[in-house]
Every structure is written in structure tokens, then in C-alpha cells.
Amino acid sequence: MAAQTPNSAHKALRARGDAVWARMPKCNAEFFRLTYGALVVQLVEDCDDTCEVNEKFSAMGVSIGTRLIDEFLAKSNQREACKDFGETCEVIGRVAFKMFLGVEADVCDWNEDRSRCSLVFPENPLNEHVELPLNENFLYSNLICGAIRGALEQILYKVDVYCIKDTLRGDDTNEIGVQLVARLQAEMDDQYKD
């Protein structure tokens, strides 16, 4: 079997993402956005400051991500484990984003040891018809950051996930940073050796 070039691997992941998206049951986008917007309004009313709201978004996202990984593995045709963190991020950006959000994210800005990257997606379905109050530091997409973190923790990657850019805050695109902190399997193996 011939080795895939990065470009052909991207095309294969893109095709898989499109195929999975076509098979996924769809909910009404307007209903989803209205429900999410109502949740945001309730959080803003219940919390003391925007930092607390952002933390709650992240915590809810982690809960969602720990459940979404099972659906992803069952429906995405991901038959074998990714070889490394880089391949895992490519699958998240090109297959998982398409599967659950209907958009594809480019994976870019890798650091030298490939432990940090950015997921860049020009359109965020959560942002449609939303305006944030001026001078507020809401991280409206922190739910997505939490979901990525929760899903990766289920497959034994400890990561920091954070918003870098958000079109709601005037940026030209949406960008989420993903930083590998540790591969949890290695930590577990070390515990059982003792």
C-alpha cells in the first residue's frame, strides 16, 4: 500500500467528513441556535461575571465532549487509532467538526515538536444571528473548546483548549488553540509498573 501524502490524507479525511455529515441526522439549525442563545442568556443572568460564564461554557462542553466521542467513534468509520497527536487533530478538524458542526476546520500553526496547533474555521454555526455586548469578554465558543477537551480526555490526551480568535469579537475568523499537555496512557502504564 502506497504511503499517503499530506495532501491526499487531507482529501481522504475531507471525503470521510462529508460522507459522515451526509449520514448524520440533522436538527433544525434555528432551533439549535435559539436554544443555545437561551442557555447563554440564562448563564449571564445566573453568574456574577463573564469569567464564571466562560468557565461554565467550558465545563458544559467537557460534559458534551465526553459523550460525543462515543458517537464519533461509532459513526465516523475511524477504524484504527490515530498514530499521534497530529493525526488526531487532523481527524478532529476535518471529520469531527464536519460531523457535529457541519463545517471543516483547517489544522495549522504547529509548533516545532507538534504538540500545539490551531483549528481555524471561518464559519461558526453557533455565531449566526448573535451580537455580543460591547466591552464584554464572553467566549461564546468556549463550549466547543470544552467539547474538544472532553473528547480528547476520553481517548487519553490531556490538553489545554482555548479560544484565540472569534468572529463575534471582531476577528476575521474563528481559531481554537489545542496544546498537548500529556499522553495519559504513558502515565497509567507507569503507575501499573510500580
List per-residue pLDDT tens for the chain, 194 residues long.
Answer: 344 555 777 777 777 666 676 676 666 567 777 788 888 888 888 988 889 989 999 999 999 999 999 988 888 877 778 889 999 999 999 999 988 888 999 999 999 999 999 999 988 888 877 777 655 688 888 999 999 999 999 999 999 999 999 988 888 999 999 999 999 865 555 555 55
- Burial label for 22, CB within 10 Å (0-12, 13-18, 19+), is exposed
Angle formed by the axes of helices 50-75 and 142-154, nearest 10°:
50
H-type alpha helices, 47-160: 50-75, 85-91, 97-101, 142-154
H-type alpha helices, the chain: 6-23, 29-46, 50-75, 85-91, 97-101, 142-154, 184-193
Enter the pTM of the model.
0.82
CA–CA separation, 153 vs 66, rounded Å? 8
CA–CA separation, 118 vs 7, rounded Å? 18
For the chain, first and last CA: distance in Å?
41
Residue 69 in grid coordinates: 466521542
Sign of torsion over alpha carbons 159, 176, 86, 22: positive
